[in-house]
């Protein structure tokens, strides 16, 4: 059997890269019976049936996986937010960060359309940049119209498998086009009536960018925390995760408990009050969801 990695999934076919060749493969029926779906990013074993065609026989154990977009074995997630059109939302960014952290994927933050904002808006963006950098995140402020961006970003992609995430219209495809013009990914204008981007990316595909692999994925604006339990939420906030051992109670949710190191850090401004408010909002959302049976 040959080995390779799924780099594209489309209409029931899985395109497996093995060496310099790409094979068009179908999944074995046994996967359907076990309700296992091969994902882009999967390392697989396959048998060639005809030249350039084959059947996937085995799927290697995944280090991580995302449901939306459906992709596996990711090294890092580049969360793309825009400064304007749509307006920057720290709440939405924190939703993405929590989701990515819960999957043990390294998040990076790219904020686009910096060339379109006023000096006052720039002050706000610079403030948030410092907040996230203080936590330990890498933050880049970008304009896809500036040709000097790609060299600044190249080191992020080398030998990594990256996934782009962010709501529609923030400029993910435009950014990839700047990084690698030969991709010529379809981009679309913001829908003026809706105030958000039209979905222009229809499938998940891993593409070679700056000696790494990058997935361009459909943008989406709604995130839920169905896979995260209340006890796990603070672990998705690195600045809280670092302090939880100092709380008086094991399993402290950093809300109403006394002698809480996280609340003390918020009071001392060592933890961003905005991030803490978002944490409480997410905690309430998780605790109020209907129980699963």
Cβ of 84: how many Cβ atoms within 10 Å? 15
| Dihedral sign for Cα atoms in the order 230, 236, 237, 242 | positive
In the prediction, which pLDDT does 45 show?
A: 95
The 10s digit of each residue's pLDDT in 207-230 is 888 889 988 655 444 577 888 999
Q: What is the pTM of this model?
A: 0.84
Residues of the chain with pLDDT under 70: 144-151, 183-202, 216-222, 292-293
In the prediction, which pLDDT does 184 show?
A: 58
Class of 66-216 in CATH: alpha beta
In the prediction, which pLDDT does 63 show?
A: 94
Tell the CATH topology of 230-288: Ribonucleotide Reductase Protein R1; domain 1 (1.10.40)
Domain 2-61 has CATH 1.20.120.920: no
Domain layout of the chain by residue ranges: 2-61, 66-216, 230-288
In the prediction, which pLDDT does 196 show?
A: 42
Taking the C-alpha atoms of residue 75 and residue 107, their distance in angstroms, rounded to an integer, is: 9
User: What does the angle CA 169 – CA 174 – CA 177 come to, to the nearest 5 degrees?
Assistant: 160
In the prediction, which pLDDT does 164 show?
A: 83
């Amino acid at each position: 059997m040959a080995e390779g990695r799924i780099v594209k999934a489309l209409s029931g076919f899985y395109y497996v890269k093995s060496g310099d060749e790409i094979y068009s493969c179908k999944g074995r029926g046994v996967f359907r019976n076990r309700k296992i779906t091969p994902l882009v990013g999967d390392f697989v074993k396959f048998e060639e049936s005809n030249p350039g065609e084959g059947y996937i026989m085995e799927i290697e154990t995944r280090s991580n996986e995302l449901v939306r977009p459906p992709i596996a074995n990711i090294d890092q997630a580049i969360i793309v937010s825009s400064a304007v059109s749509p307006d920057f939302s720290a709440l939405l960014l924190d939703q993405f960060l929590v989701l990515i952290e819960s999957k043990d994927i390294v998040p990076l933050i790219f904020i686009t359309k910096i060339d379109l904002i006023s000096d006052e808006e720039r002050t706000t963006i610079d403030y948030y940049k410092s907040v996230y950098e203080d936590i330990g995140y890498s933050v880049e402020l970008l304009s896809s119209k500036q040709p000097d961006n790609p060299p600044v970003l190249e080191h992020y992609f080398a030998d990594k498998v990256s996934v782009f995430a962010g709501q529609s219209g923030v400029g993910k495809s435009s950014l990839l086009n700047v990084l690698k013009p030969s991709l010529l990914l379809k981009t679309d204008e913001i829908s003026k009536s809706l105030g958000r981007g039209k979905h222009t990316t229809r499938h998940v595909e891993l593409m070679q960018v700056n000696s790494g692999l990058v997935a361009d994925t459909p943008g989406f604006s709604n995130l839920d925390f169905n896979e995260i339990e209340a006890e796990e939420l603070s672990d998705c906030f690195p600045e809280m995760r670092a302090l939880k051992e100092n709380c008086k109670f094991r399993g402290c949710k950093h809300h109403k408990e006394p002698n809480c190191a996280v609340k003390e850090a918020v009071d001392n401004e060592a933890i961003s009050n905005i991030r803490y408010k978002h944490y409480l909002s997410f905690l309430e959302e998780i605790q109020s969801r209907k129980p699963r049976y």
